Amino acid sequence: MKQKIASRAAQIETVIKQFLPKEEGYEKVIYEAMNYTMLAGGKRIRPMLMEETYRLFGGQAKVIEPFMAAIEMIHTYSLIHDDLPALDNDDYRRGRKTAHIVFGEDMAILAGDALLNYAFEVASRTLIEYPDVPGLGRAIYILARKPGVSGMIGGQVVDVKLTGKPVKEDELLYIYRCKTGALIEAAMMIGALLAGASEEQVELMEQVARDVGLAFQIQDDVLDITSDSVTLGKPVGSDEKNQKYTYATIHGVEAARKEVSRLTQEAVDLLGKLPCENPFLRELLIYMINRES
């Protein structure tokens, strides 16, 4: 499965590259900063879930590709801004220097803005190029709504505001659902919409994505306690050290593991209700959630 995912990620890399800006013109440096972070070796989970959901509902056209690139641009802009000194102040990500270290804080702010904006430029060009795809308008609306204040940014705001403070369970679930979940919801809903899924099916995929996003995040908490830094590829025990409230520190590892299982089962059961199937998508979801690193 690991190899299958890696080969799929490599294909997605090729798709994304087609939509990256050329590094030329007076404003060349901003394209360099955008592409530097876009090509910093992400797992491409969001475009992968989008494409596989598109295939699940029978989608076969090129219209999905700009949306795959767009959702990865939105994810990447959020990393650039999260890493800034005024937020997480991280100098490294995946062993590479972060954008503000390489290009300066001013260019990192602008490169984040540029990627968020470019995501909509790339996605909305489909309104001209593919005017007859049903669901296109809704897909663009979802692409705008889920990463915003009622989704990803909202989660980030609450996370920043509550750092170092005791967090209640409802707040924690809000952060998880928004910060991690919203883009996964967007990915799967857009895949369904562009393939012509019904309104009920799009809602079902939203629920699947919600379970998956939450399970993914709780598994992250569990691994921070149970894994070692070699397997995980990053320091462990940091949540406890930073007195960070997570699902696993609040409820304990056992209860957290149970919740991951429950959510995974719910997602798989929901998928089973559909009249269509994509075995790779089901395997991918289970693999993502139950990963050991």
The binding site for a second copy (CB under 8 A) comprises 21, 25-27, 29-31, 34, 77, 81, 84, 86-87, 104-107, 109-110, 112-114, 116-118, 120-121, 123-125, 127-128, 131, 136-138, 140-141, 143-145, 147-150, 153-158, 160-161, 171, 174, 178
Give the whole-angstrom CA distance, residue 291 versus residue 293. Answer: 6
CB of 175 to a second copy, least distance (A): 8
CB of 30 to a second copy, least distance (A): 4
The DSSP bridge pattern shows strands 96-97 and 92-93 to be antiparallel
Find all residues with CB under 8 Å of 210, minimum gap 6, and list them: 177, 181, 185
| Residue number with CB closer to a second copy (31 or 54) | 31
CB of 113 to a second copy, least distance (A): 6
The residue count of the chain comes to 293
CB of 197 to a second copy, least distance (A): 16
What single letter denotes the amino acid at residue 14?
A: T
| Residue number with CB closer to a second copy (63 or 110) | 110
CB of 272 to a second copy, least distance (A): 30
From the list 52, 68, 98, the residue with the least C-alpha distance to 276 is: 52
Phi/psi of residue 37, nearest 5 degrees: -80, -35
| Residue number with CB closer to a second copy (178 or 212) | 178
Give the whole-angstrom CA distance, residue 187 versus residue 46. Answer: 6
| Residue number with CB closer to a second copy (12 or 123) | 123
| Residue number with CB closer to a second copy (58 or 137) | 137
Give the whole-angstrom CA distance, residue 55 versus residue 29. Answer: 37
